[in-house]
Amino acid sequence: MTDTIGQTDDFLTPVGRETLQDRVYDQLRRTLINGGFAAGDMLRIVDMADRLKTSTMPVREALGRLVSEQALEALPNRSVRVPLITRERLDDLERARILIEGRLVALACHRLTTEDLESLKQTNRDCEAAFERHGQDVGPVTSEINQRFHFHIYRAAGSQVLIPVVESLWLQSGPVVRAAAHIHDEQGGLAATNHHWTLIAALEARDEPAAVNALANDIGRSFDLVRGRLDAGEVAA
């Protein structure tokens, strides 16, 4: 009888640990998603390497990956920058996010358990507490909590295909969310948690159309703030 286990072992190789490039990429990616870079920021390889305490090679490779994902753009002088916020890009990103994330919310609506819903409520309470503790310096903290809230819902949808698509859209939306947060601090208005409570109520009622609408309002809140600034001829970032 053929030794199938032995044959399989011949094709196996040791699994390597996470590379330095992966760690650099993950940190830059998280920073972009959480609004750590503003639209138009120039990301110079030497500066990034110095800040990350690493050599230039993993930074160059990580930036190249982010350019291929459209989170950054390469300029003719071989420098890299965070894309500018234009009306066309803003509208396109909002449309894509509402379409894809709305579908995930619809899929998750009847899959979320009572435990899931209680977890979403606690996450939203954590976000409210963070706003109270940190005031206007709350951005990095609430951004991470907001991401945890949304992706808890999206993963409940059970789509392995759509999750990476949403991650890419969030990566590209980071500068928009950053700009919106600054505008919100200036103008005031409802906090993001208000939209989250509406979304939770719709999910708890298993009201799919209401849940999708609440999600669209939540996403649209940030984009509307930046769109208003662009329409007024001001620099959104």
Of 24-33, 73-82, 168-177, 205-214, give the range with the top mean pLDDT. Answer: 205-214
Query: Coil, strand, or helix at residue 74?
Result: strand
Mean pLDDT, the chain, whole residue set: 87
Considering the chain, what percentage of its residues have pLDDT values greater than 70?
Answer: 86
Q: Give the Cβ contact number of residue 165 at 10 Å.
A: 16
- Across 190-207, average pLDDT: 91
pLDDT in tens, 55-74: 999 999 999 999 999 999 99
136 pLDDT tier (thresholds 50, 70, 90): low
Cβ–Cβ under 8 Å, residues 38 and 178: yes
The pLDDT, as a whole number, for residue 7 is 44
Per the listing, tokens 């753009």 go with 73
The pLDDT, as a whole number, for residue 15 is 40
Residue 145 makes CB contacts below 8 A (sequence gap 6+) with 123, 126, 127, 130
The pLDDT, as a whole number, for residue 10 is 47
13 pLDDT tier (thresholds 50, 70, 90): very low
| The pLDDT of residue 160 is above 90 | yes
Q: Give the Cβ contact number of residue 78 at 10 Å.
A: 7
Residue 99 CA to residue 12 CA, distance in Å, equals 41
